């Protein structure tokens, strides 16, 4: 199994504000023999990059046999940052309600139940929205004159759903795994998969949203060529003059190593990293 690569991107909200970081991962496919390292790799990435929120974009398990691994994974991630989840099509194999229960029991939040807000020290609040698989995202309302608008982020499974969303600062999706074989890249699209799926790629500017597509942190079939597993680390209102679309080793891009596995994290009585940084989760 290939090592997990970290893709760094940044976007700006219309009115700016305190930096806010999310880590998006999708397609974990936990419970399979070749995804045993996926939870460990993801935990290491979260520990290293310290996001204010971890977004999981579906296809978390391939059957009920993956639920125990899912509970363990979410419990570990939630020790560093709030874990917000939208389901994917493979999660139906275990039963959506069983997957939802596993997330909630482990300290995560199920985004189809309701949006989750974060209060930033300065600037508009952040609101994270999620959908059930294949369900269209609710368009975000136009700003109200005299009132500072919230910055909305979308976490969903299918890129085509995310691309149709309106009024979001950024949207995150997975599902396609980059088609797992990448022979060449043209712009942000990965081929040959993009000949079949228009959003088989890395990032897109859809009419109403900036869309980032994960290549998947795991896979159902353990075969990838030129298309390593990845997660997306997105900084809102934090710019480095750099947008590293890939830290993987294909299409002439530099290679990068998966982060080291961290030691167990102590439970911090002050709460999540988001709260410590002045960006508290809003009930």
Q: What is the pLDDT of residues 7-17, one digit of tens each?
A: 999 998 878 88
- At 64, the pLDDT band (50, 70, 90 cuts) reads very high
- At 182, the pLDDT band (50, 70, 90 cuts) reads confident
CB-count exposure of residue 242 (10 Å: 0-12, 13-18, 19+): exposed
Specify whether the CB–CB gap between 17 and 151 falls below 8 A. Answer: yes
Work out the mean pLDDT of the chain and round it to a whole number: 82
CB-count exposure of residue 162 (10 Å: 0-12, 13-18, 19+): buried
Specify whether the CB–CB gap between 171 and 162 falls below 8 A. Answer: yes
The token duo for 221 is 């079939």
Query: How far is it, in rounded angstroms, from Cα 228 to Cα 34?
Result: 14
Global pTM reads 0.84
Query: How far is it, in rounded angstroms, from Cα 231 to Cα 158?
Result: 16
Return the minimum-mean-pLDDT range out of 80-89, 107-116, 151-160, 177-186.
177-186
Mean pLDDT of 177-192: 85
Query: How far is it, in rounded angstroms, from Cα 28 to Cα 57?
Result: 9
Q: Which pLDDT score is estimated for 75? A: 96
Q: Which pLDDT score is estimated for 146? A: 54
112 or 147: which carries more pLDDT confidence? 112
- At 193, the pLDDT band (50, 70, 90 cuts) reads confident
Query: How far is it, in rounded angstroms, from Cα 226 to Cα 215?
Result: 11
Specify whether the CB–CB gap between 111 and 136 falls below 8 A. Answer: no
* CA dihedral for 160, 206, 153, 2, sign (positive or negative): positive
Q: Which pLDDT score is estimated for 139? A: 82
Query: How far is it, in rounded angstroms, from Cα 33 to Cα 51?
Result: 28
Above 70 in pLDDT, residue 241? Answer: no
Between CA 247 and CA 130, with CA 103 as vertex, the angle to 5 degrees is 65
The token duo for 244 is 């590293």
Above 90 in pLDDT, residue 123? Answer: no
- Residue-range domains of the chain with CATH: 5-258+272-282 (3.60.21.10)
Mean pLDDT of 49-60: 95
Which of 22-36, 94-108, 238-252, 259-273 has the highest average model confidence (pLDDT)?
94-108
Query: How far is it, in rounded angstroms, from Cα 103 to Cα 71?
Result: 7
Query: How far is it, in rounded angstroms, from Cα 13 to Cα 145?
Result: 17
Mean pLDDT of 170-189: 87
Query: How far is it, in rounded angstroms, from Cα 31 to Cα 269?
Result: 31
Above 90 in pLDDT, residue 118? Answer: yes
Task: Give bridge partners of residue 181 from the DSSP assignment.
Answer: 225
- At 33, the pLDDT band (50, 70, 90 cuts) reads confident
Specify whether the CB–CB gap between 152 and 167 falls below 8 A. Answer: yes
Above 70 in pLDDT, residue 1? Answer: no
Query: How far is it, in rounded angstroms, from Cα 249 to Cα 144?
Result: 45
* CA dihedral for 208, 55, 192, 92, sign (positive or negative): negative
Query: How far is it, in rounded angstroms, from Cα 95 to Cα 37?
Result: 24
Q: Which pLDDT score is estimated for 107? A: 96
Q: Which pLDDT score is estimated for 269? A: 31
Query: How far is it, in rounded angstroms, from Cα 163 to Cα 226?
Result: 25
């Amino acid at each position: 199994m290939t090592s997990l690569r970290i893709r760094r991107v940044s976007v700006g909200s219309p009115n700016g504000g305190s930096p806010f970081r999310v880590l998006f991962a999708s397609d974990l496919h936990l419970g399979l023999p070749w995804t045993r390292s996926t939870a460990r790799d993801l935990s290491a990435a979260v520990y290293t990059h310290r996001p204010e929120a971890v977004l999981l974009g579906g296809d978390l398990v391939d059957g009920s046999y993956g639920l125990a691994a899912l509970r363990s994974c979410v419990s570990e991630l939630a020790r560093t940052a709030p874990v917000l989840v939208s389901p994917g099509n493979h999660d139906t194999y275990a039963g959506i309600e069983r997957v939802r229960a596993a997330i909630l029991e482990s300290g995560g939040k199920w985004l189809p139940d309701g949006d989750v807000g974060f209060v930033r020290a300065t600037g508009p609040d952040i609101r994270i929205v999620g959908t059930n698989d294949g369900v269209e995202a609710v368009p975000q309302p136009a700003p109200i004159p005299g009132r500072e608008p919230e910055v909305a982020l979308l976490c969903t499974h299918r890129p085509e759903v995310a691309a149709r969303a309106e009024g979001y600062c950024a949207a995150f999706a997975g599902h396609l795994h980059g088609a797992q074989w990448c022979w060449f890249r043209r712009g942000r699209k990965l081929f040959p998969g993009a000949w079949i799926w228009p959003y088989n790629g890395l990032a897109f500017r859809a009419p109403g949203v900036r869309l980032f597509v994960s290549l998947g942190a795991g896979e159902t079939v353990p075969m990838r060529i030129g298309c390593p597993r990845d997660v997306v680390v997105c900084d809102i209102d934090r710019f480095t003059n750099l947008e590293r679309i890939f830290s993987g080793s294909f299409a002439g891009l530099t290679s990068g190593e998966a982060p080291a596995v961290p030691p167990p994290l102590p439970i911090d009585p002050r709460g999540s990293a988001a709260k410590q940084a002045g960006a508290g989760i809003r009930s």
